[in-house]
A = this chain, B = another copy of it.
Amino acid sequence: MSEPVHAPITITAFERSPDRGKGLARDMRVRWALEEVGQPYNVRLVSFGEMKEPAHLSLHPFGQIPTYEEGDLVLFESGAILFHIAERYQGLLPRDADARARAIMWIFAALNTIEPPIIDRGVTLMLERDESWYEQRLAAIDDRIRVRLGELSRRLGDADWLDGAFRAGDLMTVEVLRRLSGSGLLEEYPNLSAYVARAEARPAFKRAFAAQLAVFERSQKEGENDAD
């Protein structure tokens, strides 16, 4: 049986990622998923200015990246794009109906239960560093993150992945946990650190990481040339 022919896939990513090539922007989730299922893709880079212009807003009403274009289909929201890829191509969702529902559940859990205090931390680091309440708020947020990490750590236990083999829910959970890099919080939970390391060792992750890093390195070089 031959693979069905699909329209070419194009995603968007930051022209100059604010994470400086650490692979923490949300295009990484989509790149990694496409690498896991073995689908080639094109990348269109957008600047912060372009993200808020009508052409991009017609694809993504909230003016962010990533977007996903495939023939007439246009999607935004990294969770929705991951789900679409996982449903359309083999490898990221199990065939058993109940196991499939649980893999999808973990995508939602990563995005709606684990990520919110982690995003809150990022917003606080970025916007509130000079405020009088900065230290106190940051400590409170870190405690909220620890509650979630503790619960996740207990659920994972000594398993390799959240529910059997590596699935879409693991991909999103790892992506969310990676946003804690540099905070020291993840290291308080050795089984979660090992879980993230295990995922980062996957060849598909490495290919996706290298692809987004190459974009950053190119933007740096162009920046140097601009400065000449």
Q: Footprint of B on A, CB under 8 Å?
A: 61-64, 72-73, 75-80, 83-84, 98, 101-102, 104-105, 107-109, 111-113, 115-116, 119-120, 127, 131-133, 136-137, 140, 148, 151-152, 154-155
Contact = CB atoms under 8 A, between A and B. Distances in A.
B72 A98 contact: yes
Number of copies: 2
Contact of A76 (B73, B98, B105, B116): B105
A12 B109 CA distance: 17
B73 A112 contact: no
B151 A61 contact: yes
Given A77-B112, A80-B108, 12 more contacts: A61-B154, A62-B109, A62-B113, A62-B151, A63-B151, A72-B98, A75-B102, A76-B109, A77-B105, A108-B111, A116-B116, A116-B120
State the main secondary structure of chain A at its contact with B: helix
Given A98-B72, A120-B120, A113 B77 contact: yes
A116 B119 contact: yes
Contact of A109 (B77, B119, B151): B77
A78 B108 CA distance: 8
B75 A105 contact: yes
Q: Which 9 A-B pairs have the closest CB atoms?
A: A80-B105, A61-B155, A79-B108, A80-B108, A133-B133, A77-B108, A73-B98, A111-B112, A77-B109
